[in-house]
A = this chain, B = another copy of it.
Amino acid sequence: MKKIRVVQFGVGPIGASIARLMRQKTTLEIVGAIDKDPVKVGRDLGEVAGAADAPWGVIISSESQTVLAKPVDVVIHSTSSYLPSVMDQLLECLAAGCCIVSTCEELAYPWRKHPDLSKQLDSAAKEEGVALLGTGVNPGFVMDKLVLTLSAVSQRVDWASAVRIVDASKRRLPLQRKIGAGMTPEEFRTQVAAGLIKHHGLPESIAMVADGLGFALDDISETINPVIAEEEVKTEFLEVASGQVAGVHQIARGTAAGKERIFMELKMYVGAKQPSDTIELKGEPNLSLVIPGGTHGDVATAAVVVNAIPAILAAPAGLRSGRDLPFSFFPSLAAK
C-alpha cells in the first residue's frame, strides 16, 4: 500500500503533538517539516517534537519552496490563528498541488469574516485539484461539527447552544499564560485590549452552525471577561491567589432579527470544577448532549487534524469545512 506523504508546516507545541501522532500512523510518511524559527531550523523534527523514537531523519527547514518541491500529498499547517497572516503559506502549499489540513482558527469557517480570502483559496485549490480544511477541537469539532451532527436527529431547530468548560490546571504553561491565569483583572483587561488574550474561533463555530441549520444571522457578537479565582489555585507551573484571574470567560451570540438563535460559551481557567462540553438544541425535539470531563484541547486537536487526512484527500477540490466532510477516527494498520 502506498503511504500518504505529509509535511508538517509549523512546529510549535500543537505542530509537535500533531507530528508525534502522525508518526504513529503506518499509512503516513512524514517527508518534510517547515518552520522559520532559527532555533529549530536544521534540527530533526522528532527531536524538536520531543518524540521518544527521535531522530526521525526529517530535518526542519525554513525553505518551504524546497520542501514542497518534493512529492507531497498533504500539508499539515499549524502556524497562526489569523487567516490573513497565513494566506501566503496556504497559497504556496496549494500551488505545489498539496491538500492542506490547518489548525488556523479563522480557516475553520472563513466565509463570513473573510469572504474574499475564502474565494481566493477556493479558486486556488480548485485550479490544482486539491482540497483544504481548517479544523481542530475548537473551532472544528465540539462547538460546531458535533452540534451539526446532533442536529441530524432534529425535525426542527429553533436555537442551538454549545458550552465548553475547560480546566486549564493540567494544560501546558503557555496556555495557562495565554488565558491570563495569575494576572490582576487590570492586567487581564490590558492584555485583552492589546489582542493578546483571546481564544479564537467562536464566531467561526457560530457561522458554521448557522449555515448548517439555515439561520440567516444578521449579527455575531462576542465578549471576553476574566474568571476570577474564588480561592487559591496551584498548578504545576503557577499559583493564582484568590481575587486574581484564573482564566477567560468568552460568550458569543448569533442573532437574527434581534433574536438569539445561537449561544456559545467558553470558560477556560485553572481550577475549573466540572469540565465538560455540552450541546443543546431547542426545537422538535429538545435535545442535549454532554461529554463529561470535556475533550482535552491539545490531545483532541492533534487527533482531529490527523484524523481528517483521509477525508480531505477524498474531498472534492476546493475550500472545505467540517460541515461538508464526515469526521471519524483514522485507523492505522498497526502501531509502528
Contacts and interface: CB of A to CB of B under 8 A. Distances in A.
Copies of this chain per assembly: 2
Contacts of A287: 291, 295
Given A149-B149, A290-B289, A295-B287, A155 B303 contact: yes
Interface in A56-114: none
A145 interface: yes
Which has the most chain B C-beta neighbours within 10 Å: A151, A153, A288, A295?
Answer: A153
Interface stretch (A177-185, A187-195, A220-228, A322-330): A322-330
A300 interface: yes
Given A137-B153, A153-B303, A155-B303, A328 B146 contact: no
Interface string A276-304: 00000000110111111101100110111
A324 to B, nearest CB: 6
A213 interface: yes
Nearest to A326: B326
Contacts of A328: 148-149, 151-152, 212, 323
A42 interface: no
Contacts of A212: 328-329, 331
Contacts of A150: 146, 291
Given A149-B327, A153-B304, A154-B307, 4 more contacts: A150-B291, A151-B329, A152-B304, A214-B333
Contacts of A325: 326
Q: Chain A interface residue count: which class?
A: 35 or more
Which has the most chain B C-beta neighbours within 10 Å: A149, A151, A287, A332?
Answer: A149
29 contacts: A24-B155, A24-B156, A145-B152, A148-B327, A148-B328, A148-B329, A149-B328, A151-B307, A151-B328, A152-B307, A152-B308, A153-B299, A153-B300, A153-B303, A153-B304, A154-B303, A154-B329, A157-B329, A212-B328, A212-B331, A214-B332, A285-B296, A287-B291, A287-B295, A289-B291, A290-B291, A290-B292, A323-B328, A324-B326
B285 A288 contact: no
A141 interface: yes
